[in-house]
Every structure is written in C-alpha cells, then in structure tokens.
Amino acid sequence: MTVYRIRARCVSQPATADWREQLASRLGSRPRRLGRWAELGLYGALECVAADAESTLSQQAALLLSSQHGPAAAMRSARAQAHEDLLLPVTFLQTQPSQLLATLSAQLRWCGDARFITNPDPLALLSLALAIAAGHADGLLLGWVNELGSESSLWLRLQPVADPGGAWRQTSDFGTLLQGASHVRQGQSQVEVIMNP
C-alpha cells in the first residue's frame, strides 16, 4: 500500500478577492487567452508548487485536474455566441479544460501524464488519483477547480514515502484532509490519513 506525504497544499476556498492580481504578479503579466476558470486553476497550482519551493514539476510526477462543472462560464458564453451564429475562436478555446493543463505544463516546464476528470465527489477522485500516482515515481500534483458559487482552487502535491507508522484513520471529510492531514493512502475501503500533530 503506497503512502503519500502531502508536501504542499493550496486551499483557496473561497479564492481571495485579489487572486487575479496575485497570479499576474507571479507571472509578470496577466495570462492571455485563458478564461477565468483556467486562470483560477493556474493560480492555485502555482501557489501550491511555490509553497513547496518548487519552480518546476518533476517529469516523474503526474498532473490530475478535476472540477464539478469545468469552465462553466466560458461554456455559457460559447452557447450564447453560437446562438447568434458567431462563436469566437478564443471563446471556444476557453471552454476546453485542456487549456489549463497545457498552460500549467508550460509554466512548470513539465511534460508527462496529465488528465482532466469531472467528478462531484472529491474523496472518490482522490482514490482514483492515488491509483494513478502509484505509477509515477514522484507522485502527483492534484487539483480541484470550481468557478460556480464561491470560486475555489484546491491543490495537493503528493509524494510517495515510506509509511511513517503514525495513527492512520479513515476520513470522509475532504475539508479535514485539505487542512490537517500530513499523509494519505488508499485503505481497504476508504481514504486514510495521518493528521498533523
């Protein structure tokens, strides 16, 4: 059973009012041709990687991105434009979740296994992510991005480690995992964590 240490996290839920300014400051300019959803994801991922003092992502790590709705605002805009018989190319691109993966890959100077999965259950997705990470020597960068309701960009950097021998417990609360867990693994039937002391 592979154990993962949570090396870094970004819990931006809800996102701060000035997250776009923070992203532009980190990049040196505002990103071009990206929709709000992709910018929000880029912001959270770069914050997570920076929290671990990384500037690049290991080629031996995987990248998994999830969202309950994807770039919903861009999709609504595209539908409105299509209704008027005028779908603009930039609007179409902003409806594609792969735009975030491509931009993030370029920012992290990374090339590898990147996936986008739509799933309303973060713990079910985490179980899948742990299975995917098992095939990657340097673990996983995992993110959940949502722009509907309160905007959120939640990211974890997981790295495989030896079992620290702590008190493992099952978790059914995703918030607890994001805020207080130090290690995570897939148990027999549920995700299990070790909480920070």
How open is the CA angle 99-145-111, to the nearest 5 degrees? 45
Per-residue pLDDT band at 14 (split at 50, 70, 90): confident
> In terms of pLDDT, which residue wins out, 189 or 41?
41
Q: What are phi and psi of 151, to 5 degrees?
A: -65, 140
24 is written with which tokens? 């532009």
Task: Write down the pLDDT at residue 74.
Answer: 67
Per-residue pLDDT band at 175 (split at 50, 70, 90): confident
Helix (H) or strand (E) holding 44: helix 36-51
**What type of residue is 62?**
A
Q: Is-contact 143 11, C-beta < 8 A?
A: no
* All domains of the chain in start order, with CATH: 8-160 (3.40.47.10)
Q: Which residues contact 56 (CB under 8 A, 6 or more apart)?
A: 108, 109, 110
> In terms of pLDDT, which residue wins out, 173 or 135?
135
Tell me how far apart the alpha carbons of residues 107 and 172 are, in angstroms, rounded to a whole number.
33
Within 13 Å, how many C-alpha atoms sit on residue 127's CB side? Answer: 13
- In 10 A of CB 131, how many CB atoms? 11
In the predicted structure, residue 87 carries a pLDDT above the cut 60:
no
> In terms of pLDDT, which residue wins out, 94 or 146?
146
132 is written with which tokens? 């995917």
What is the separation of C-alpha 127 from the centre of its chain, rounded to a whole number of angstroms?
15
Per-residue pLDDT band at 171 (split at 50, 70, 90): confident
Among 83-87, 95-99, 107-111, name the most confident range: 107-111
